[in-house]
Every structure is written in C-alpha cells, then in structure tokens.
C-alpha cells in the first residue's frame, strides 16, 4: 500500500459527460501529480500541484482541469468526455516540490467512456 488513495477505482460514463477523480496523497506529502496511462500514449504527465498551487503542466487538454485543496487532496475534472479519454488515471504524491525524490503512486482510476 503506497498510502496514496484514489477514488473511484472504476468509472464508466457516456461521451459528453463530466467526471471528477479524487486523490488523497500520503500523509505529509505536499506535491501531487496526475498522469494518464493509455494504450497508445503510454504514461503521460498531466499536471502537478504543490501545496495548493499549480506548479507544472504537461499534456493536459483544456477540457481537463485540476485543483489541490487546503487539506492537500486533489481532484482532476474531465469534461466533454470523448471516447479517446478512456484511460487509467494515476495520482502520485511526493514530499517535496521536485520529483527527484521518489513519487508514490495510487492504484489509479480506470475511466471508460462509452
């Protein structure tokens, strides 16, 4: 158990809908990272938050947004969903701002868009 909790584990929704994925980092970790894992794109970095502030952005679509709350949990919001958004979404946390320390990954949320 990595200590990073993601909910829900599975999500099935229709195209055009909006969903929210939730991540609770390990106790004390201030950095949260979101990754998307799909068959054709592999593991892609989406966005990083540190202590409530956005710190880095990767290949995140404009239809996607995220935030980190004062209690350090994070949510990834995906809207106007398309079939191609079907993927495994991982959250990772680490104690510090940079990723040079190891990142602990949650078990992911599997999103299926039908």
Partner 1 sequence: AQSVTQLGSHVSVSEGALVLLRCNYSSSVPPYLFWYVQYPNQGLQLLLKYTTGATLVKGINGFEAEFKKSETSFHLTKPSAHMSDAAEYFCAVSGRDKLIFGTGTRLQVFP
Positions in the binding site for partner 1 (CB under 8 A) = 2, 4, 33, 35, 42-43, 45, 48, 55-56, 58, 90, 92, 98-100, 102-108
- For partner 1, the closer CB: 37 or 79: 37
Separation between Cα atoms, residue 77 and residue 111, nearest integer Å? 12
The least distance separating partner 1 from the CB of residue 108, rounded to whole angstroms, comes to 6
Give the shortest CB-92-to-partner 1 separation in angstroms.
Answer: 8
DSSP string, 13-66: E-TT--EEEEEEPPTT--EEEEEEEETTTEEEEEEEEETTEEEEE-S--TTEEE
Contact 90, 75 (CB under 8 A): no
Other Cβ atoms closer than 10 A to 51: 12
Residue among 28 and 42 whose Cβ is closer to partner 1: 42
12 vs 43, which CB is nearer to partner 1?
Answer: 43
**Least Å distance between CB 67 and partner 1?**
17
Q: How far is the CB of 16 from partner 1 (least distance, A)?
A: 28
């Amino acid at each position: 158990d990595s200590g990073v909790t993601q909910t829900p584990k599975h999500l099935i929704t229709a195209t055009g809908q909006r969903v929210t994925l939730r991540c609770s980092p390990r106790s004390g970790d201030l950095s949260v990272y979101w990754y998307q894992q799909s068959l054709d794109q592999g593991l892609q970095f989406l966005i990083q938050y540190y202590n409530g502030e956005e710190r880095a952005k990767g290949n995140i679509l404009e239809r996607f947004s995220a935030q980190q709350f004062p209690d350090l949990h994070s949510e990834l919001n995906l809207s106007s969903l398309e079939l191609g958004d079907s993927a495994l979404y991982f959250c990772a946390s680490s104690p510090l701002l940079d990723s040079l320390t190891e990142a602990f990954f949650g078990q992911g949320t599997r999103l299926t868009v039908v």
